[in-house]
Amino acid sequence: MMSREQLLASTFVDLADTLVADFDVIDFLHTLAARSVQLLDADAAGIMLADAHGDLHVMASSAEEARLLELYELQNNEGPCLDCFRSGHPVAEEDLSAMRTAWPVFTLRLRQLGYHSAEALPMRLRNETIGALNLFRVRPGRLSEADLGIGQAMADVATVGLIQERAIASRELLATQLQTALTSRVQLEQAKGMLAQRTGLPMDQAFQLMRAFARSRNHRLSDVAAQIISRSIDDDQLRQRPHRP
Amino acid sequence: MRGVRVVEILSAIERRGGEQVTLPARLCDEGLSALPVSGVGIALMTVDGPSGVVLAATDERARQLEELQFALGEGPCVEASGSGRPILASDLVAAGTARWPRFGAAVLDAGVRAIFAFPLRVGAIHVGVLDLYRDTPGQLTALQFDEALAFAEAATVVVLHLQDYDEHDGTHAPLAEPIDNRAEVHQATGMITIQLGISLAEALLRLRAYAYATERTVSAVAADVVNRRLSFGDSGSGGTTRQERP
């Protein structure tokens, strides 16, 4: 079992390690989401990136339940993610009643899923905000200052990691990267749907199966999604993976 | 909000009318007037690469650029479609012929100085590429780049709808509706693909047509599919009718 410090150190190594040949943007953002839940006092974490029109898209989530994805997407209308993306600053409200005033529809749906607080941390590159890291908690109240600092550092490292060709990180390049990330995410959703239909599994479990397979074989998540779509791996192969203790 | 500009472009080309002019041709013309480029072309692509079909081009040189890439198997549109990312070659003279040895030499001879290629993709669905070329070098500004992306999104909808050969039932989604990028729309597309044994492109079209025919939003229908309240595979005709499950 890793200590929090060891996990933190290894998270930063993982997030910084984006210049490898098999870099996969969705896998990378998923790592950020999963580690956010492990490292911070949060119960769910999601990453939204903005496209060229300023619309926010879910790129990764610590859990892939449909209802949770909807909660991120809902924030194209209202919510901490939207406020954070627009202002470029961390966004949180003191308590539930303040949240209800600021984001009535979002807060209602959040409560229905069993969460009592939500925060958003900006993903910023120089003067531009490209998206936000969303953190949901079952317990009410805000994250501690220490957690906020670590969360923001993770969001910053992840933002830099997204811009692979750092030396020429022009806006144009950023826009093409985001476009590519969006295409990968859409492909992942299509693969999840195909797998869920064939196996009868819920979306979340279909995703877990894909990710576990990718991890155990050292494949990129995007490649596994593409192979499911092209039917070059079947469901039995996906299920044949080393059992974890 | 989502795709306002995309809707504008699609509405504009629908209004342009003229039965003999195809929708892709109208879209190219619209792009030529909206962007500071010398020519616009749209080529069909498949997962395996160029299909050899140029859908539309604003001029002979734009058409030749597409055909040249098909013949040589290299160039920005081939690369854009394969990688799924826009390829922006803003100064072909400065770039030389290292990237595309044969294509690079040929376009310089033709007087082309910059090419911007945008993949027309919805995840794993490859429909084609939108190519913009210019006879002077220079990058697109941020606003022009966003405008080009809006044209690429509009072109994706147009080309996707061209693939809808099943014209009999008359239940097609209106053209002027951009692809809804919510997660459940793409998940539902994947599910319908398996339910009906059809391609992802066809499944997305069926989903859109069903939403239109039942006067619901695409994402609401998609949510029903994902939650297994609605299955496209239940009906005998394999079409847009279905059975509701409790």
With 70 as the cut, is the pLDDT of residue B2 above it? no
pLDDT of residue A22: 63
Q: Model-level pTM? A: 0.81
pLDDT of residue B165: 55
* Candidates A177, A203, A229; nearest CB to B187: A203
With 90 as the cut, is the pLDDT of residue B196 above it? yes
Contacts of B155 (CB under 8 A, 6+ apart): B24, B27, B42, B118, B120, B128, B130
Contacts of A198 (CB under 8 A, 6+ apart): A235, B194
Third-level CATH fold of B183-243: Arc Repressor Mutant, subunit A (1.10.10)
Residue numbers of B between 133 and 152 with CB closer than 8 Å to A: 139-140, 142, 145-146, 149-150
Q: Which of A115, A208, A161, A130 is nearest to A18 (CA)?
A: A161
Question: Closest approach of chain A CAs to the CA of B185, in angstroms?
Answer: 8
B243 confidence band (pLDDT: 50, 70, 90): very low
Three-state secondary structure string covering chain A: CCCHHHHHHHHHHHHHCCCCCCCCHHHHHHHHHHHHHHHCCCCEEEEEEECCCCCEEEEEECCCCHHHHHHHHHHHCCCHHHHHHHHCCCEECCCHHHHHHHCHHHHHHHHHCCCCEEEEEEEEECCEEEEEEEEEECCCCCCCHHHHHHHHHHHHHHHHHHCCCHHHCCHHHHHHHHHHHHHHHHHHHHHHHHHHHHHCCCHHHHHHHHHHHHHHHCCCHHHHHHHHHCCCCCHHHHHCCCCCC
pLDDT digits (tens, 9 = 90+) for A74-97: 888 899 999 999 999 999 998 899
* Candidates A66, A171, A226; nearest CB to B124: A226
Question: Closest approach of chain B CAs to the CA of A114, in angstroms?
Answer: 20
CB contact under 8 A, A189 and B119: no
A108-112, A181-185, B156-160: least confidently modelled range: A181-185
**Which runs of E-coded beta strand occur in B47-196?**
49-57, 87-89, 114-122, 125-134
Domains and their CATH numbers in chain A: 4-171 (3.30.450.40), 181-239 (1.10.10)
pLDDT of residue A167: 41
B174 confidence band (pLDDT: 50, 70, 90): low
pLDDT digits (tens, 9 = 90+) for B131-160: 999 999 998 887 888 899 999 999 999 998
B178 confidence band (pLDDT: 50, 70, 90): confident
Cα A73 from Cα A147, distance rounded (Å): 25
CATH architecture label of B3-161: 2-Layer Sandwich (3.30)
With 90 as the cut, is the pLDDT of residue A65 above it? no
B34 confidence band (pLDDT: 50, 70, 90): very high
The CA-based angle A122-A123-A124, given to 5 degrees, is 100
